[in-house]
Amino acid sequence: MSKLYNIENSDALKAKRLLANEERITLSFYAYAKILNPSFFRDHLYIILSELDVCGRIYIAKEGVNAQLNVPALKFDTFEEAIRSISFFEGMRLNIAVEKNKFSFFKLIVKVRPKIVADGLDDESFDVTKKGEHVDAKKFNSLADRDDTILIDMRNHYESEVGHFENAICPDVETFRESLPIIEDMLSDKKDKNLLMYCTGGIRCEKASAYFKHKGFERVYQLDGGIIEYARKVKAEGLENKFKGKNFVFDERMGERISAEVIAKCHQCGKPCDDHVNCTNDACHILFIQCESCADKYDNCCSKKCATFTALDDEEKSKLKPKISFNGTRFGKGRYKALTADEELDLS
């Protein structure tokens, strides 16, 4: 009987895969479809992918599938054939990462969720099939240049901080579900304008475009394939690249460069930097931007407090941990701008 879960130690698995040093391809895809038995489909998909040594993260719900994967290059054709054999994946786009040969995942996780994207919407209250018009990179650029177009970034603040399109409105939100009512209120008197939206690979715009059409926006457009496909098209077709900086991605890479500009700053010293990291202190683990100099100064931590705590032995950590609030336990993801890196740890 084929296994249905990966139970190997994560650190050991990561070390083994890095040692193998094989060429792998990172990609993402999504498909909205009616899945009557998500748990059964989950097990079926896990068996197919694990046999091909695919790594990644997949969410399955009654509404469809959302996947970010890392596939051995030598098995890619077999992988694609297996995926395409599933009816609602047949004509689906595979968004291949801009940067190749980087390990983005080290194990396979397939989970059943209520939704493939946490949007907070009641899908029964509007027609989710009446989506905005998909536009390719060329038409996206043309629309973005028009005075009657409003360009909206449908991603979170820590994503747009390191990279976004020129003149885009970037809501200061931590989750996708937060952005929808904020954008609706912000543009309540502009429903006759072109509403042009984009996200990483397109999945958030699929639902958002239908939602905004339901709310009375007359001309709604979404970037086909998201930033990932846009980067590929502008390079292949010699188009102007209107995206500045990095495209944040939710895997080990933390981002892939789309243009040479560095538009963000180190959260600790303020120098130009767009490298996201997680604080090495597991009791904190906050996501923030850190340059190499500050990584050395703070031992890859977000503060002196975390660096001091990390250096303690396990017994001391266990005693102190319940008494301390670290940056990652007090603030949301990436809210490092509100913190003080030089705060000392009280060992009393």
Active site residues: 199
CB atoms within 10 A of CB 118: 12
The DSSP bridge partners found for residue 59 are 66, 111
Helix axes 176-186, 203-214, angle to 10 degrees: 40
Could you tell me the sign of the dihedral formed by the alpha carbons of 249, 255, 260, 262, in that order? positive
Helix (H) or strand (E) holding 195: strand 194-198
Query: How do beta strands 55-61 and 219-223 pair?
Result: unpaired
Q: Which amino acid is at 55?
A: C
Query: How do beta strands 256-257 and 243-247 pair?
Result: antiparallel
What does residue 103 show for φ and ψ, rounded to 5 degrees? -75, 120
Q: At 104, list the tokens.
A: 């983005």
CA distance linking residue 61 with residue 42, whole number of Å? 9
DSSP character at residue 119: -
- By the 8 A CB rule, do 29 and 92 touch? yes
CA distance linking residue 331 with residue 263, whole number of Å? 23
DSSP character at residue 343: P
Q: At 318, list the tokens.
A: 């266990």
In the sheet where 243-247 sits, what is the strand order? 163-165, 243-247, 256-257
- By the 8 A CB rule, do 224 and 118 touch? no
Helix (H) or strand (E) holding 160: helix 157-160
Query: How do beta strands 256-257 and 55-61 pair?
Result: unpaired
